[in-house]
Amino acid sequence: MSVTVAQLKRGQKGIIKEFAEDILPIKLLELGCLPGNEIELVQVAPLKDPIYINVNGSHIAIRRSVAQKIELDIIDDTNVL
Amino acid sequence: MSKQINVALIGNPNTGKTSVFNQLTGLNQKVGNYPGITVEKKEGICKLPRGVKAHILDLPGTYSLNTTSLDESVAVELLLNKNDKDHPDVVVLISDVENLKRNLLLFTQIKDLKIPTILVINMADRMSRKGISLDIALLEQKLNTKIALVSTRKSTGIEHLKELITDYKNLSDASIIDTTVIAPDYFERLRNAFPKEDLYKLWLVITQDVNFMPIKKKAINDASNFTTKSKSELKRLQQKETILRYQFINGILKETYKVDLSTAKGFRATLDKILTHKVFGYLIFFLILLTMFQAIYDWSSYPMDFIDASFASASEWVKNNLPPGAFTDLLAEGILAGIGGIVIFIPQIAFLFLFIALLEESGYMSRVVFLMDRLMRPFGLSGKSVVPLISGTACAIPAVMATRTIENWKERLITILVVPFTTCSARLPVYLIIIALVIPEERFFGLSYQALTLMLLYLIGFGAAILSAMVLNKILKIKSRTFFVIEMPNYKLPLLKNVVYTVWEKTKSFVLGAGKIILAISIVLWFLGSNGYSEKFKNAEEIVTNRINESGLSEFNQSSVNEDLSIYENTLRDSIAQVYNLGPAVISDSLQQHKAILLEKAIHQEISSYKLENSYIGNLGKAIEPAVKPLGYDWKIGIAVLTSFAAREVFVGTLATIYSVGSDQEETIKNRMAAEVNATTKKPLFNLASGISLLLFYAFAMQCMSTLAIVKRETNTWKWPMAQLVFMSLFAYIVALAAYQILK
């Protein structure tokens, strides 16, 4: 199933799909948001935004608007809280 | 003396770069700004083995050389510019053992600039706990450099790092990744167009987001035999470069870096769950804020009172022990009072930065940003503005300094500009005395009107800050990174040394940076208040003495002398006289003496009052009377408003001098103010209309030269503090005018 980071549940993981080059800021790519890498949703802020993820070992928080642009293939459904 | 080795420290944020810098330089460090911009420049001297010295420059934290902010472009520019006097002989790249992969991205980029680069792997003490094992020898070989395994917490590895820096000439300066493979044709054309230049450096210049080194970039754009690519094509290439670098890094780490995933991950997850919880998260943040306020308001009042008293007695000592004259007055009332006015802020600044340093060091600050971001966004701010805005409620000065954590310049500027609207502690004495005068003591459903007014004033201040942020966000056209990402670092026990350095450095930069301006303005204000050109000023003593001889003391002073005297007489008769069995002659003698002292004091007060009235400031106050009259003030309040520009709390003291109330007792001043009558309306001067008008004026006006000075320091130009001064004061005037005219 293909979803975006914004749709993940806490503890859920996915693999980043290929994306068009200029939708994501270069900073995110440097932090490891590259196609093929794994993203885990760690926390969502109380007002549903920002979203706290672990990507490729980097723990970062991004805003929902950006998270909606990152498409994933979900890999692990067993760990959902 | 032999030439110093130029060393540049560079690394991702949160890798402990500052700790390494502190360990290398100790207190031998200097913090300033890069010329012309507001990026902080930290440098220091480090003593190396065999008598060699190194100049250490701590570059702003960055994830890569693809710059998106001014801070980062400072780093890149320095690395590219061989002619800069700080251009490093050797770069020390600080990485964190847990995020080695990401840190190495920056390493490979710097290595490709052909500068010798030592890799520091910090937080080595965490390796065993995190189940990480490293093959250092193999890693050194693959990366073609030397590695120092360091733990700033345990103070290990620093000596090894110093050895490596001393022997930097043995390091290889070869590049390790061939970037040209991402677009062979493109780089081939680049090579043909600029045969003498290094391709990777050219590539960096071309892809910079931030407009730096404009000349060089222009030269490339103008070159007739070379057409540059479109923005999105360049971006695609940058992405390719990033992927290429990660492939290289992954390949190396596969052989050298092992991590046992089963080891502890739980602590961080549990803490995150609690600290960002929708109820507990805010509750904990609220409790921490409460403690911070307690410290800034309450705990710091002890050292502040001590400082106040010390400077008062020092100035007293100078007046009594130096020959009287203009110089002594200047020293005692101008310079000493001015320095006192700077030193008095140190406890609050130190406390605020103690807390901020603890929060930052522990990793908690990122969680606050995470919690608050959504709430601040409608106002053009982000979670990072929360702490400065809230600390502004204690004092705007440390709050403005605290905005340094905001990387986005536009957001930082907006925060700096609106912070002075929040109700700082210096407004409190003014609020309290005016509220006590004009707001009735009655209650409304058990709530006192006075308390409600005070709360309303706090809300108005915060509202003004947030609304003006919204407006500024629309008006200010500053190009700056709009993209928001916060790293959520691991939780750490704060290092005492780093906390102490932060507090020390912030305090020092306030005293040295803003202190000069504050001192200068206080001396000017003192001069204007204690000098005058008119005959009245020069002959003040004579005029007042004559007046008192003819018509006696002012009504207020007469009654207060009589009152004081009768209290004195009663105590004397009722208790002391009986205990010591004093006769009537002794009592009347003592009364005479006491009366003489009181009279002398009263005469002295009336002279100072008369002098202030006829000083330059007094003349100025009278000159502006037509302007403040529509607000319901007279020239006396006008003078108090003018002197308040030194600091708001001066308001009460100035009124005390003008009304020649010789006492610091708030009650006395209040009674005197309540007795004051408006010359034209014959009603009390301080009534509801003029009182509200004054409260609103103090709520909005920019009456704090210390804040102006610190804003000048932080924005590096007089433009912004002047804009604040003009707009806030104008706004205050209009609101106060409207309030008085409506309520009158």
Within 8 A of A48 by CB-CB distance, chain B residues are 374
- CA B328 to chain centroid, in Å, comes to 33
Do B113 and B201 contact (CB within 8 A), yes or no?
Answer: yes
Report helix, strand or coil for B90: strand
Q: How many CB atoms lie within 10 A of CB B248?
A: 17
Rounded CA-CA distance B177/B184 in Å is: 14
Q: Quick count: other Cβ atoms within 10 Å of Cβ B579?
A: 7
Tell me, yes or no, whether A39 lies in a domain: yes
Instruction: Establish whether B393 is an annotated binding residue.
Output: no
Measured CA distances, B142 to B200, B251, B258, B376, B442 (Å): 21, 10, 16, 46, 79
R_g of chain B, CA atoms, integer Å: 32
B303: preceding bond cis by omega (within 30 degrees):
no
Contact B490 A59 (CB under 8 A): yes
**Are B68 and A31 inside 8 Å of each other by CB?**
no
Q: Decide if B485 and A62 are in contact by the 8 Å CB cutoff.
A: yes
Structural domains present in chain B: 5-170 (3.40.50.300), 180-249 (no CATH), 541-598 (no CATH)
Compute φ and ψ for B488, nearest 5 degrees.
-105, 90
Residue A69: closest CA among A30, A24, A33, A26:
A24
In this complex, do A45 and B374 lie within 8 Å of one another by their Cβ atoms?
yes
As given in the structure block, the two tokens for residue B565 are 């005297």
Please indicate whether residue B288 or residue B38 has the higher confidence score (pLDDT): B288
Report the SS3 class of residue B210: coil
**Chain A residues inside the 8 Å CB shell of B488:** 42, 52, 59-61
List the end-to-end C-alpha distance of chain A, in Å, as a whole number: 19
Do the Cβ atoms of A22 and B489 come within 8 Å? no
In a 3-state reduction of DSSP, which class is residue B660? coil
Please determine, for residue B2, whether its predicted confidence score (pLDDT) is greater than 60. Answer: no
**A81 found inside a domain:** no
State residue B95's pLDDT score.
94
Given CB atoms, is A45 within the 8 Å cutoff of chain B? yes
Is B17 assigned a ligand-binding role in the annotation? yes
- Chain B residues in contact with A42 by the CB 8 A cut-off are 269, 272, 488
Angle, CA of A51, A57 and A62, to the nearest 5°: 20
Q: How confident is the model at residue A1 (pLDDT cuts 50, 70, 90)?
A: low
| Å between B211 CA and nearest CA of chain A | 16
Q: Which residues of B touch A59 (CB under 8 A)?
A: 487-490
Say whether pLDDT at B225 is over 70: no
Assess contact for B494 and B358: CB atoms under 8 A: yes
Strand partners, B134: B257
Tell me the ipTM for this assembly. Answer: 0.90
Nearest to B733 by CA among B704, B694, B707: B694
Nearest to A58 among B99, B231, B281 (CB): B99
Q: Does residue B228 carry a pLDDT above 70?
A: no
Say yes or no: A60 contacts chain B, CB-CB below 8 A: yes
Does residue A63 fall inside a structural domain?
yes
pLDDT at B283 over 70: yes
φ, ψ at B246 (rounded to 5°):
-65, -35
- Please indicate, yes or no, if residue A33 is contained in any of the structural domains: yes
For residue A43, the chain B residues in CB contact (below 8 A) are 272-273, 276, 370
Say if residue B557 carries a ligand binding annotation.
no
The domain tally of chain A equals 1
For the segment B408-420, what is each residue's pLDDT rounded down to a tens digit?
A: 888 899 999 999 9
Amino acid at B341: G
pLDDT digit string, tens, across residues B575-602: 777 777 777 788 888 888 888 888 888 8
CB < 8 Å to B281, chain A: 46
pLDDT band per the 50, 70, 90 thresholds, residue B226: low
**Among residues of chain B, what percentage have pLDDT more than 90?**
25
Of A57, A34, A67, A29, nearest to B64 (Cα)?
A: A29
Cβ distance A34 to B366 less than 8 Å, yes or no, reads no
Asked if the structure places residue A51 within a domain, the reply is yes
B interface toward A at CB cutoff 8 Å?
Answer: 63-64, 66, 68, 98-99, 101-102, 105, 209, 231-232, 235-236, 238-239, 242-243, 246, 269, 272-273, 276-278, 281-282, 366, 369-371, 373-375, 483-490
Strand ranges across the sheet with B147-149: B29-33, B40-47, B53-58, B5-11, B90-96, B117-122, B147-149
Nearest to B568 by CA among B603, B602, B601, B593: B593
Contact B419, B728 (CB under 8 A): no
The CATH number that applies at residue A65 is 2.30.30.90
Residue A60 is part of which domain span?
Answer: 2-76
User: From the CA of A35, how many Å to the nearest CA of chain B?
Assistant: 9
Q: DSSP labels for A29-70?
A: HHTT--TT-EEEEEEE-TTS-SEEEEETTEEEEE-HHHHTT-
Pairing of strands B257-259, A51-55: unpaired
Please return the burial class of B270, using the count of CB atoms within 10 Å of its CB with bins 0-12, 13-18 and 19+. exposed
What confidence tier does B217 reach under pLDDT thresholds 50, 70, 90?
Answer: low
- What is the rounded distance in angstroms from the CA atom of residue B378 to the CA atom of residue B411? 13
Rounded to a whole number of angstroms, the distance from the CA of B483 to the nearest CA of chain A is 7
pLDDT 10s digits, A3-54: 899 999 988 899 998 876 667 778 888 888 888 888 999 999 988 889 999 9
Does B506 have pLDDT greater than 90? no
**Is B192 annotated for ligand binding?**
no
Q: Is residue A21 part of a domain?
A: yes
Tell if the CB–CB gap between A47 and B232 is shorter than 8 Å: no
Count the Cβ atoms, other than its own, within 10 Å of residue B172: 14
Q: Are B478 and B409 in contact (CB under 8 A)?
A: yes
Q: Is the dihedral of CA B264, B266, B272, B274 positive or negative?
A: negative
pLDDT at A80 over 60: no
Burial (CB count <10 Å: 0-12, 13-18, 19+), residue B474: exposed
Give the H/E segment covering residue B21. Answer: helix B17-25
Q: Which of B287-301, B509-523, B623-637 has the highest mean pLDDT?
A: B623-637
